[in-house]
Amino acid sequence: MNKNFVKAIAILACMGSGAAYASQTFDFTYTFADGQSLYGILTGTEVAGAGGSFSVADVTNASITFDGNTFLGSLSAGAFNPAAPSAAPWNFAPNAAVISTTASLNNFIFADSTDPAGNNVTNYFYFVNGATPSGSGTSEALAYNTNTGDIDFDNPAGGAWSLTAAPVPLPAGLPLLGSALGFLGLRAFRRRAAV
């Protein structure tokens, strides 16, 4: 087997394995039972789950548009903590949020403040299961934009939830690698033909 061909395959394998654990972009939507919806994007790392589901860790760069209005300010990801005192129910520690393709596993808030008491929050969306902020103990979703007055609430969370990986653009080096492989293959073909 040609040494250059083996080298090219090794480079391709390294590129592929490096991308498997890289941060990527995810799209999410929630449509409330009354038909209002929100959508957003976030950056994070996919964590495999059971039955083909996955969750997202290391969440950053979240953006949400609700009722046609984009939340202002940068958003942080946190989780509801039912064991916390009532004065501090939100936990914004790294990776506290659980954002999953399986709606019944979700426990997250996207907010424009990391105030655990929620006093300084003006834009937020949460989706919580199990123990809930309202005390219903089932599931609930709430979106609120104080800048525009847009608000919607599902208790229990009976809307449609979606979390998908955004299409990954072709890495810039891949076409160059493909042309190099083509060149090596053509060169090997000409050598064989000359012999």
User: pLDDT for 118-152, tens place per residue?
Assistant: 888 999 999 999 999 999 889 999 999 998 999 99
> How far is the C-alpha of 130 from the C-alpha of 64, rounded, in Å?
24
pLDDT band at 40 (very low <50, low <70, confident <90, very high): very high
Is the link from the previous residue into 156 a cis peptide, with omega within 30 of 0?
Answer: yes
Q: Is there a domain that residue 31 lies in?
A: yes
Amino acid at 145: N
Asked whether the predicted pLDDT for residue 49 surpasses 60, the reply is yes
Give a yes or no: residue 192 inside a domain.
no
Q: Is the pTM of this model over 0.85?
A: no
Residue 78 to residue 176: CA distance in whole angstroms: 41
Q: Is residue 189 part of a domain?
A: no
> What per-residue confidence (pLDDT) applies to 1?
56
Would you say residue 129 lies in a domain?
yes
Report the 10 Å Cβ neighbour count for 67.
15
124, 111 in Cβ contact below 8 A?
yes
Residue 5 confidence (pLDDT): 59
Per the structure, the complete domain to which residue 144 belongs is given by 25-167
Does 9 reside within a domain? no
Tokens standing for 71?
């939340």
pLDDT of residue 20: 46
Residue 179 lies in a domain: no
Per-residue pLDDT band for 105 (boundaries 50, 70, 90) equals: very high
Average predicted confidence (pLDDT) for the chain: 86
Long-range contacts at 61-66 (CB < 8 A, ≥ 24 apart): 62/110, 64/38, 64/39, 64/40, 64/110, 64/123, 64/125, 64/143, 65/38, 65/39, 65/40, 66/36, 66/38, 66/125, 66/143, 66/145, 66/150, 66/152
CA 126/CA 79 separation, integer angstroms: 8
Instruction: Report how many domains make up the chain.
Output: 1
Show the DSSP H helices in the chain as ranges: 3-20, 173-194
* pLDDT: which is higher, 7 or 132: 132
* DSSP H helix total and E strand total for the chain: 2, 12
Q: Classify residue 4: in a domain, yes or no.
A: no
Asked whether residue 41 is domain-assigned, the answer is: yes
Report the Cα 32 to chain-centroid distance in Å: 20
